[in-house]
Structure 1
Amino acid sequence: MGYDRNAPKRAINVTINADLLSQARAYTRNVSGTLEDLLAGFVEQERARRRAEDARLDRVVEGANRFHAQHGYLSDEFSALQ
């Protein structure tokens, strides 16, 4: 994962559905550790999603720049400055 696993722990206040917490405790004795693992997975997934979105937008911009380099702006023929 992309975070410092040895960083100090910090206490925070979290509000969670009591029934969900009760059910989770049936599956794990370490709710904090489980939440940390799940949060780390979420962060990594979100980081990857944003990188993919950035790459997609970069391709769009590159395509628009290539089009402009080949054909100029569509508005150029209507410009009052020429």
Structure 2
Amino acid sequence: MGHDRRPPKRPVNLSLSEELVREARGLTPNLSDTVEALLAEFVAAEKRRRAEADAEVAALVAASNRFIAAHGAFGDEFSTL
């Protein structure tokens, strides 16, 4: 799941620690590319995490629906509907 680096780029404003930026610039020849790569990794990981959470909720709902179909809902015996 690679990040397409060909789309046009635009400047953005970020508020970052001066010291951290200074150190990072000493560790990478291209801070923008490094930050973009790290941001792409974060976006991909967050999308995966959210998809996994959605799948977990869907599985729980399906299990609950199967239980209700087989045994009825907990309060069915008390319902006046």
TM-score by length of 2: 0.93
Between the two structures, name the one with larger relative contact order (CA 8 Å, sep ≥ 6): 1
CA apart distance, 1:45: 0.5
The residue that corresponds to 1:50 in the other structure is: 50
SS of residue paired to 1:26: helix
* Cα distance in 2, alignment partners of residues 54 and 2 from structure 1: 22
CA apart distance, 1:30: 0.7
Counterparts of 1:63-74 in structure 2, within 5 Å, are 63-74=63-74
CA apart distance, 1:15: 1.0
Structure 1: gaps of 5 or more residues = none
* Cα distance in 1, alignment partners of residues 19 and 56 from structure 2: 41
* Cα distance in 1, alignment partners of residues 62 and 69 from structure 2: 10
Structure 2: gaps of 5 or more residues = none
* Cα distance in 1, alignment partners of residues 47 and 41 from structure 2: 10
Per-residue Cα deviation, 1:1-55 (whole angstroms, up to 9, x for no partner)? 3543211001111111000001101111211110000000000000110111011
Amino acid at match of 1:30: N
Amino acid at match of 1:29: P
How many residues end up aligned between the 2 structures? 81
